């Protein structure tokens, strides 16, 4: 076991991918000499060379298109999009080409590409640097979407994504890059596409993923002071969603709060609420409550803390749930 930040765990995970698979390579803007805006790829150019750590032009569509072509030729590309809001020039390539490749070929081949996207707010940045577009990708069949919330998951999930034969959109919670945690580099983390119960409880369930898992855990600890035993689930995989883990928890606790930074309107929380209502309706003691961003463009840094879900908003949601 060793202590790492999420950022360093990602670096170590990418290094291991490059070491173990000679067909793997990284491609993105400023990922080579600069080491990436957040220094996630720092040092990898020196160790693996320009053929495997490729500084691309400022052209997201070209990054994705090139990655698809490389994958079709037997390589295993890991593409970096510099910020969440910059992905949209490549959105067409991802949703109309990459996601459809296996179905188009009737399963004979696919395009196993990993697309790393730092996402979410809380860094005091400007427009297009703090968005949470995961639901836009989750609506597209053919893509797998995962996001780690801690260093151990970051280390192993990037490797699991690289080994997956389906395209994977790998969302990295940028405001948690400096969050430290224990990393077991010998024993793999659980399957990246399965949820994990990170705090057991009996009275209510909070489902979170990525940057809001620490907030959910803090809210559960605060709720415990009022005698409420709250279970917290780290979803980890946004597509596919591990509904069995969520439903099992709700059947035990009877209450569910789902939280994410993205707007609640059209968000992942709505899908979870609908599925839980279908599969565990008789177990619910209250409606499923969603806590997320507001249905508006991401605000300026001065007021972003009012936009992002926090402990108080989660505790208020729990109060509403227990009031039924």
- Sequence-distant (6+) residues with CB within 8 A of 274 are none
Tell me which residue of 76, 14, 3 sits closest to 39, measured CA to CA.
14
pLDDT band at 94 (very low <50, low <70, confident <90, very high): very high
The pLDDT of residue 127 is: 84
String of b and e for 177-216 (b: at least 16 CB within 10 Å)?
Answer: bebebebeeeeebeebbebbebbebebbbbbbbbbbbbbb
Range 147-158 average pLDDT = 98
Reported as a single tens digit per residue, the pLDDT across 80-92 is 999 999 999 999 9
Q: Which residues are catalytic?
A: 129
Taking the C-alpha atoms of residue 285 and residue 269, their distance in angstroms, rounded to an integer, is: 18
- List the structure tokens of 65: 């298109």
Range 20-49 average pLDDT = 96
pLDDT band at 303 (very low <50, low <70, confident <90, very high): very high
- Sequence-distant (6+) residues with CB within 8 A of 204 are 223, 228, 229, 230, 231, 253, 254, 255, 256, 257, 318, 321, 322
Taking the C-alpha atoms of residue 196 and residue 190, their distance in angstroms, rounded to an integer, is: 8
The pLDDT of residue 124 is: 92
- Sequence-distant (6+) residues with CB within 8 A of 25 are 18, 51, 52, 53, 54, 70, 75, 76, 77, 78
Reported as a single tens digit per residue, the pLDDT across 204-253 is 999 999 999 999 999 999 999 999 999 999 999 999 999 999 999 999 99
Tell me which residue of 153, 55, 73 sits closest to 111, measured CA to CA.
73
Taking the C-alpha atoms of residue 215 and residue 218, their distance in angstroms, rounded to an integer, is: 5
> How many angstroms separate the most distant Cα atoms in the chain?
60
Q: How many percent of the chain have pLDDT more than 90?
A: 97
Whole-structure pTM value = 0.96
The pLDDT of residue 29 is: 97
CA angle, residues 147, 148, 149, in degrees to nearest 5: 125
The pLDDT of residue 126 is: 83
Q: Mind spelling out the 3-state secondary structure of 123-190? A: CCCCCCCCCCCHHHHHCCCCCEEECCCCHHHHHHHHHHHHHCCCCEEEEEEHHHCCCEEEECCCCCCC
- List the structure tokens of 155: 């280390």
Range 21-29 average pLDDT = 97
Any idea which of 15-19, 107-111, 177-181 has the lowest mean pLDDT?
107-111
CA angle, residues 99, 100, 106, in degrees to nearest 5: 135
pLDDT band at 291 (very low <50, low <70, confident <90, very high): very high
Range 114-122 average pLDDT = 96
The DSSP 8-state label assigned to residue 57 in this structure reads P
- Are the CB atoms for 219 and 38 separated by under 8 Å? no
The DSSP 8-state label assigned to residue 56 in this structure reads P
- List the structure tokens of 252: 């035990």
- List the structure tokens of 171: 């969302």
Tell me which residue of 10, 37, 14 sits closest to 26, measured CA to CA.
14
Range 51-62 average pLDDT = 96
The pLDDT of residue 304 is: 93
Tell me which residue of 207, 209, 208, 214 sits closest to 171, measured CA to CA.
209
For residue 316, count other CB atoms closer than 10 A to its CB.
15
Our separate counts of H helices and E strands in the chain read 12, 14
CA angle, residues 136, 211, 24, in degrees to nearest 5: 70
């Amino acid at each position: 076991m060793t202590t790492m930040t999420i950022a360093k765990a990602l670096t170590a995970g990418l290094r291991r991918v490059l070491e173990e698979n000679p067909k793997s390579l990284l491609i993105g803007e400023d990922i080579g000499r600069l080491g990436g805006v957040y220094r996630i790829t720092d040092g990898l150019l020196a160790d693996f060379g320009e053929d495997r750590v490729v500084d691309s032009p400022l052209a997201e569509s070209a990054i994705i298109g090139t990655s698809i072509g490389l994958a079709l030729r037997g390589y295993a590309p890991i593409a970096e999009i510099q910020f969440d809001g910059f992905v949209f020039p490549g959105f067409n390539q991802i949703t109309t080409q990459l996601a459809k490749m296996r179905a188009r070929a009737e399963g004979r081949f696919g395009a196993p590409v990993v697309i790393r996207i730092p996402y979410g707010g809380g860094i005091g940045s400007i427009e297009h640097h703090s968005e949470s577009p995961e639901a836009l990708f989750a609506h597209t069949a053919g893509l797998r979407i995962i996001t780690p919330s801690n260093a151990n998951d970051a280390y192993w999930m990037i490797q699991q994504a690289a080994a997956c034969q389906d395209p994977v959109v790998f969302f990295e919670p940028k405001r948690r890059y400096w969050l430290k945690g224990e990393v077991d580099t010998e024993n793999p983390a659980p399957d990246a596409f399965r949820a994990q119960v990170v705090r057991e409880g009996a009275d209510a369930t909070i489902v979170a993923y990525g940057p809001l898992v620490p907030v959910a855990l803090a809210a559960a600890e605060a709720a415990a002071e009022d005698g409420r035993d709250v279970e917290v689930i780290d979803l980890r995989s946004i597509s596919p969603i591990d509904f069995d883990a969520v439903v099992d928890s709700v059947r035990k606790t009877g209450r569910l709060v789902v939280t994410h930074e993205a707007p609640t309107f059209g968000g992942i929380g709505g899908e979870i609420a609908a599925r839980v209502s279908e599969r565990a309706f008789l177990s619910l003691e209250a409606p499923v409550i969603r806590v997320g961003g507001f249905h508006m463009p991401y605000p300026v840094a001065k007021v972003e803390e009012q936009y992002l879900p926090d402990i108080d908003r989660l505790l208020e949601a729990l109060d509403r749930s227990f009031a039924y």
